[in-house]
Amino acid sequence: MNLDLLPDDCFAHILSLTSPIDACRISLVSSSIRISANSDNVWEKFLPPDYQQILTRLRHPLIFSSKKHLFFRLCNPHLIDGGLKTFSLEKTTGKKQYMLSARELNIAWADNPLFWSWKPFPTSRFVEAVELRTIWWLEIQGMINSGMLSPKTTYECYVIVKFVDRAYGLDFLPSKVTVEIGNVKSEGNVYLRQYESKKQCLETLWYSNRMELVLRSMAFRGIMEERVACKREDGWIEIELGSFYNNGGDDLEVKMSLKEVTGTHLKGGLVVEGIELRPKQQTTTNHM
């Protein structure tokens, strides 16, 4: 069938039922199809239903010439809610992504300058992050309402940190990481130490999984999934807290945490930027 023969509004409706990456690909077929594929009717369907309300929460207004232009501008993180969060769209699917700043988190004793120090960091997307000076009770918690997220989506949660040169005591014992929504809870353990590359992360996970199989074969019980800290392209370190499926329809609180409260030794040198929630990546990646 010759796609050029379809009425413009019919073809635009068909495209709106696909995905942003499909619309970009099919726009290369012909100039007439490109007009339909770039229309506001198509790209408004790829924007979140509440995008107008999200635009009112932006710290800095956006200027855009079309709904497609707006979509791709929102694919970059933008400060919202007075600069306490960032919002962006996942480029291939249009699903929502958020990052909660350290100020949006509940960090035990973070307001006490003896234990934590709030300061700007040049590479942070927020005005300030918080650095652990010294403490023995390490507990970081974050919360977000599931209604703010895209429905029918599996999300992964990461705490974004740095380790300063003088960091100490952070990897004596594993920290417990959890993600909880409703009556579903994901748990794991992580040693707070830096890995330089994704390759090292994969090697460490492979070793951890092998060790877990050995331990299980020896009838050990209660073993939680081992997580590792991986370096990002922006220079920060991300630690997976867990994942959850957001069915949509119900406003549930998503609770995320990292804590190490069993050891009585002092620890310090951890910089916390925030907690990031992003849709779980598919096994294959696409590029626009």
Domain ranges in the chain? 8-76, 81-279
Q: Which tokens belong to 130? A: 């918080």
What does 158-220 look like in DSSP terms, one character per residue?
Answer: EEEEEEEEEEESTTSSPEEEEEEETTEEEEEEE----BSSHHHHHHHHHHHHHHHHHHHHTT-
Whole-structure pTM value: 0.84
Q: 81-279: what fold?
A: Jelly Rolls (2.60.120)
Asked whether the predicted pLDDT for residue 33 surpasses 90, the reply is no
Instruction: Give the pLDDT mean for 240-249.
Output: 94
Q: What is the rounded distance in angstroms from the CA atom of residue 62 to the CA atom of residue 219?
A: 58
Instruction: Give the pLDDT mean for 5-29.
Output: 67
Instruction: Give the pLDDT mean for 213-226.
Output: 49
Give residue 208's identity as a one-letter amino acid code.
S
Instruction: Give the pLDDT mean for 273-284.
Output: 86
- 131-145, 186-200, 214-228: which has the minimum mean pLDDT? 214-228
Q: What is the rounded distance in angstroms from the CA atom of residue 250 to the CA atom of residue 263?
A: 38
Asked whether the predicted pLDDT for residue 138 surpasses 90, the reply is yes
> Given this model, what pLDDT does residue 213 score?
47
